[in-house]
């Protein structure tokens, strides 16, 4: 959410941003509703001032004047009630449009309709060339008996999976390694709710817009999160943080759920796009300072790059274009890891700067040393998300005999096991 004064002063910029982000929002109507909101509010305040004056004057009136004055005040009450009804209707329409207003983007952001306009910024590592017929991760998982899609489908339907034996141990070790890795970077680890209230999703900018992607628990009027970002960001809602405590660096592990509505078979093979997954997320709450946010964005990005390098995972970094970034994103990079079965890179990390978009919705502020109160900036990025990261991990580390070499950094988390082999 943006400041309405900023929207009014930069209406053309907001309209241009909405077009570039493929967002439909009527800024002209929003400003009209804001005018009505202020006009009606002023009328209500004038009526209340009139009633206050009446209350002070009433005891001094003659008996015959009191009767007439009371009738006049009843008319004022009726007018005030009607104006309050009008104000509530205008506020509802105003709020609905405010939730759709996009955050302007960093000048570095390329303009484009979809991910085809994302620009590659850098690469690390050399994609492996196999001297044998390489398998994809599903074949590897089935042959090694560490992934079971058939049984999972009977239990949970399409896009379900079961990790077995060393597959489950590899995932658990990877997640624990990611937690230790990010904690060594100075982040505070959290275990957060994955069942949340609607305000948390509106506050982080997932609603409106991602309702079709989100699992709804109708009986309880609650939702399952698609990322722990929702819970971490909401941690300091309606709080004023002391400036000396910023930036706050958090990381959280959570199970995540996404309906993947609208994918229509795209990337649904194997473990790449599933309904239930696990993720370690990194999140920063910082001062309202563009230069600091830029440095912290690079910090989050470097953390994920360092993790992938420690796994010897080739990757590339993309500058995400306007049409492929969310409503609240100011600047965004994706990291794509090399996936041999695709003969291409596939997204495994997403790093975003949102400036004060989320903090205004969640009312997260900080008090400067001079006493002035400002809205914070927020940033987030993936540390690791599984099972998707298992796609490149299994495929890049396969051997000719069908075994998987476990990356060295993960071996201590798997009882120093070096390979995953087919059980006799």
As beta bridge partners, residue 188 has 250
Please compute Rg for the chain using Cα positions. Answer: 27
Q: How many secondary structure helices (H) and strands (E) does the chain include?
A: 12, 18
**Catalytic one among 254, 304, 341, 350?**
350
**Catalytic one among 169, 249, 258, 360?**
258
- Cα–Cα distances (Å) from 402 to 55, 132, 167, 420, in that order, read 88, 10, 14, 9
**Catalytic one among 159, 169, 249, 388?**
388
Has 369 been annotated as catalytic? no
**Catalytic one among 8, 128, 259, 273?**
273
Has 273 been annotated as catalytic? yes
Has 310 been annotated as catalytic? no
Any idea which residue has 């000396």 for tokens?
244
The enclosing H or E element of 12 equals helix 11-20
Nearest Cα to Cα of residue 11 among 104, 112, 95, 92: 104
**Catalytic one among 347, 352, 360, 365?**
347
Q: Is 311 helix (H, G, I), strand (E, B) or coil?
A: coil
CA–CA distance, 153 with 158 (Å, rounded to integer):
6
Q: Are 191 and 253 in contact (CB under 8 A)?
A: yes
Has 347 been annotated as catalytic? yes
The size of the chain, in residues, is 424
Has 388 been annotated as catalytic? yes
Q: Are 87 and 307 in contact (CB under 8 A)?
A: no
Residue 200 burial (10 A CB sphere; 0-12, 13-18, 19+): buried
- Active-site residues: which are they? 258, 273, 347, 350, 388
């Amino acid at each position: 959410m943006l400041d309405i004064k900023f929207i009014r002063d930069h209406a053309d910029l907001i309209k241009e941003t909405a077009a570039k982000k493929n967002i439909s929002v009527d800024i002209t109507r929003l400003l009209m509703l804001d005018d009505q909101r202020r006009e009606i509010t002023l009328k209500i305040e004038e009526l209340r001032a009139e009633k206050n004056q009446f209350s002070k004057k009433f005891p001094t009136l003659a008996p015959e004047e009191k009767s007439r004055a009371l009738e006049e005040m009843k008319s004022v009450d009726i007018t005030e009630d009607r104006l309050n009804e009008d104000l509530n209707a205008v506020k509802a329409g105003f709020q609905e449009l405010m939730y759709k207003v996009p955050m302007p983007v960093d000048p570095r952001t390329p303009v484009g309709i979809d991910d085809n306009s994302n620009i590659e910024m850098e690469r690390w590592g050399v994609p492996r060339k196999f001297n044998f017929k390489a398998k994809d991760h599903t074949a590897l998982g089935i042959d090694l008996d560490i992934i079971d899609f058939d049984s999972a489908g009977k239990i949970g339907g399409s896009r379900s999976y079961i990790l077995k034996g060393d597959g489950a141990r590899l995932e658990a070790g990877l997640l624990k390694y990611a937690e230790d890795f990010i904690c060594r970077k100075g982040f505070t680890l959290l275990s957060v709710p994955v069942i949340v209230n609607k305000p948390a999703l509106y506050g982080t900018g997932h609603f409106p817009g991602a309702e079709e992607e989100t699992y709804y628990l109708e009986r309880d009027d609650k939702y399952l999160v698609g990322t722990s970002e929702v819970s971490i960001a909401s941690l300091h809602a309606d709080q004023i943080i002391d400036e000396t405590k910023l930036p706050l660096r958090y990381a959280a592990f959570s199970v995540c759920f996404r309906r993947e509505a609208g994918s229509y078979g795209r990337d649904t093979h194997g473990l790449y796009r599933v309904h239930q997954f696990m993720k370690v997320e990194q999140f920063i709450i910082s001062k309202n300072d563009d230069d600091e946010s830029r440095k912290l964005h690079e910090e989050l990005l470097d953390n994920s790059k360092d993790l992938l390098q420690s796994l010897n995972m080739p990757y590339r970094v993309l500058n995400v274009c306007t049409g492929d970034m969310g409503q609240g994103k100011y600047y965004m990079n994706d990291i794509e890891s090399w996936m041999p079965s695709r003969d291409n890179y596939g997204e495994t990390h997403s790093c975003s700067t949102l400036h004060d978009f989320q903090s205004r919705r969640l009312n997260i502020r900080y008090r400067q040393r001079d006493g002035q109160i400002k809205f914070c900036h927020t940033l987030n990025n993936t540390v690791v998300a599984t099972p998707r990261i298992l796609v490149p991990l299994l495929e890049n580390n396969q051997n000719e005999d069908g075994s998987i070499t476990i990356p060295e950094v993960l071996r201590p988390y798997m009882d120093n096991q070096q390979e995953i082999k087919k059980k006799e």
